[in-house]
Amino acid sequence: MKLTYNWLKDFVDISLKPKELADKLTMAGLEVVSLEEFEGDYVFEIEITSNRPDWLSVIGIAREVSAITGRKLKPTADSRQPTAGSGSLHIKIENKKACPFYSARLIYEVKVGPSPSGIADRLKAIGLRPVNNIVDITNYVLWATGQPLHAFDLDKIVGANLCVRPNDGGQTRRSAPTHRKISVRFAKSGEEIISIDGISRKLSPKILVITDENRPVAIAGIMGGKESQVSEATRNILLESAYFHPLVIRKAARLLGLSSDSSYRFERSVSMGGILDSSDLASSLILKYAGGNPGPLFKAGSDAKTPAKSIIFNIPRANKLLGKDLSAVKIKANLSALGFKTASLKKDTLKITPPAFRQDISTPADILEEVCRVYGYENIPLSLPSIKPSQLPEENIQLIQERAAQTLSSLGFNEVITYSLLSQEALKRIRSDGQTTVFLENPLSQEQEVLRPSLTWGLLNVLARNLELGNTKCAFFEIGNCFSQDSECRFLGIVMNKRGSTTLTTGGLLELKGVLELLLQKIGIKDYKFIPSTDPLFTVGYSSALVTGKEEFGFLGQAKKEILTELRIDESEVIIAGLNLDKLKNLACFSRVYQPLPKYPSVSRDISLIVDETISYQALIDAIKSGNGLESLENIKFKDVYRSEALGKTKKSITISLEFRSPEETLTDSQVNSRVESIIQTVSRELGAGIR
């Protein structure tokens, strides 16, 4: 949206300099993307959000300037035009939903010529080329009020012929033409129109048009036809001002590949209350700068405004959200400046009615936003929440996502986003349980038949594509929603090849296990286990599930070779992991507990235990923690696993490091040895382990 500084001053007194005004508008939500000087004036270019069509006009911006500067809007001159003259016109609207209201004003004996400098200069400043006084006035009113208008050459409307002859006094006298008719309907198959840009356009039954008795004369709300456009020879005009449904105009503009200043506004909805006011303003300017005589005004449909819905606004609740104590008087003043009607229901409650042009206002939160904009966001204090995040399980998931993304990014992983729809073939490849899968009733294609049950397929495809492009070290993660027939959950998915990322050394199964352990530590989850799993996606013996208590919340494993072959991934080892973040949100803890540094040194002992091949490291740890010798045991670390012919095919040796520390004294060798012996006895009894 472009407008000039002096144009704004026609509607509101401004004491701020252009640069200061630009800053004020930006802070109020109307981002000024450029400010340029133009022939003694300043041109503002403002980025308008799609929910604020009322800002697509100089008057709309002036209203905001009035509110944020405290200056009153200037009263606009009464431009209402009396109906006069003879003539008849029948307006037929075939689809009242597509066009609820249509008005046509006739003006006779105009003189088409150059526009006055005041209008022409403002149009040039905003990038429009002046054409003639009639066309320029319709453009001027469009930018001033936000209501698109169109002027037809009345004599070129078939069935609207005028008979003009001298009367007895030597003056011209108009006789009423017959068969004058305008229709608003959808185009018929095969119809065409040459628009005012000289291009012949094929129409379809989805495109709304304005027609005379024989043919389309305009594409409704978008562009007029060349055959009925105003030219230097025009003497009589029909001035259109109407309301067209936004969806109808948007579809037509997309089908035709045609956009205009009019369609841009109709697509976002114009205010029903400004249709006739804008027509009156344009008519008065035409009579002032092009001469002529006013004719009658014809209307069809209803221009009744949709009753505004009143909103109950609680002032203490709003102030609590703002962290600022605004009085009812201040809130009323701010809203009144924007055109809202306010009434006090009781001491701390207001009944607020938005103006007709504010179709985006429907809730107390919308009202609060308006109060903030006018009061000034810079005047609202910044403060942190007084409650701890760990007390809000529903919000923990956002903190988990942020912590996970930060941790994985710092380790060299790259975040990706993949599609949430899969094909049934992809579902079979990742060996997912089809019984709980959500299928689309009307998929757009075979590639988009199923809502993803996991992030695995998308991550494997990202890996395959990167390897194809020559990226040898691949480590990716994604945070997204996964679906089943019963629920929708937030998941974290991780995939990497054996060669790992720039930070990780090998990228193997144990490496990614360490990443998961670090990640769970970062989000404050301690009581969990890795237990063996039989997921068909993974190589047998190389996968595990993550559980806490009896709740399974994640998985880790090495993808099967045949799955990698199907996806053309030529890698010796690809590791996949996943965490259900919805299950973790109630377990996460972000509060920090600080402890003093230990006073006494720790003592470590390494032991190598020979166990059956079927015994997992986790089972070994569980056995140690279930027995004696745990006094002063501070940490258990995995060191190594060893297999050899001497041990036998059914045996393996697991070396672990036991770290002991007492908070009261330095432990002696005899104390440590006694505790180690107790642990050895426990694992020997529970698992049949022996010392190597």
User: pLDDT at position 627, please?
Assistant: 81
64 strand-pairing partners: none
How big is the chain by its Cα radius of gyration, in Å? 38
pLDDT bucket at 504, cuts 50 / 70 / 90: low
pLDDT digits (tens, 9 = 90+) for 576-587: 999 999 888 878
Which pLDDT belongs to residue 160? 53
Residue 435 has what pLDDT? 54
- At residue 600, the pLDDT reads 92
- pLDDT surpasses 70 at 432: no
Residue 166: the pLDDT is: 37
Name, of 74-78, 170-174, 357-361, 387-391, the range with top average pLDDT. 357-361
Per-residue pLDDT reduced to its tens digit, 27-70: 998 999 999 999 999 999 999 998 899 999 999 999 999 999 98
User: CB-based contacts of 485: which residues, under 8 Å, 6+ apart?
Assistant: 436, 437, 438
Q: What pTM does this model have?
A: 0.60
Each residue of 463-503: pLDDT tens digit? 999 999 988 889 999 999 998 888 888 999 999 987 654 45
Q: What percent of the chain has pLDDT over 90?
A: 56
Q: Assess contact for 61 and 10: CB atoms under 8 A.
A: no
Report residue 418's pLDDT band, with 50, 70 and 90 as the boundaries. Answer: very high
Q: How far is CA 601 from CA 253, 348, 423, 612, 670, in A?
A: 77, 64, 59, 35, 16
Kindly give, in sequence order, each residue whose CB lies less than 8 Å from that of residue 420, ignoring residues fewer than 6 positions away.
451, 452, 480, 481, 483
**What CATH fold (topology level) applies to the domain 2-69?**
Phenylalanyl-tRNA Synthetase; Chain B, domain 1 (3.30.56)
pLDDT at 284 over 90: yes
Query: What fold is seen in the domain 90-301?
Result: Phenylalanyl-tRNA Synthetase; Chain B, domain 3 (3.50.40)
Q: Give the pLDDT of residue 394.
A: 56
pLDDT of residue 437: 79
| Domain covering 391-584: architecture | 2-Layer Sandwich (3.30)
Question: Residue 507: pLDDT above 70?
Answer: no
pLDDT for the residue numbered 446: 81
Average model confidence (pLDDT) across the chain: 87
Helical packing angle, 133-145 and 275-289, nearest 10°? 150
Q: Where are the domains of the chain?
A: 2-69, 90-301, 311-379, 391-584, 603-691
CB 213 within 8 A of CB 160: no
Pick from 317, 340, 339: nearest CA to 73: 339
Task: Identify the weakest region by mean pLDDT among 115-124, 167-176, 326-335, 487-496.
Answer: 167-176
Least confident span in 102-106, 209-213, 424-428: 424-428
pLDDT at 602: 93
Intrachain domains 2-69 and 311-379 with the same fold: yes
Q: Which CATH number fits domain 311-379: 3.30.420.40, 3.30.56.10, 3.40.50.300, 2.60.210.10?
A: 3.30.56.10
Beta strands in 421-573 (DSSP E): 421-422, 438-439, 450-451, 475-483, 488-497, 529-532, 538-548, 551-559
Instruction: Return the CATH superfamily for domain 603-691.
Output: Ferrodoxin-fold anticodon-binding domain (3.30.70.380)
506 pLDDT higher than 60: no
Distance CA 102, CA 298 (A): 8
- The pLDDT of residue 75 is 78
Contact indicator for 35, 19 with CB cutoff of 8 Å = yes
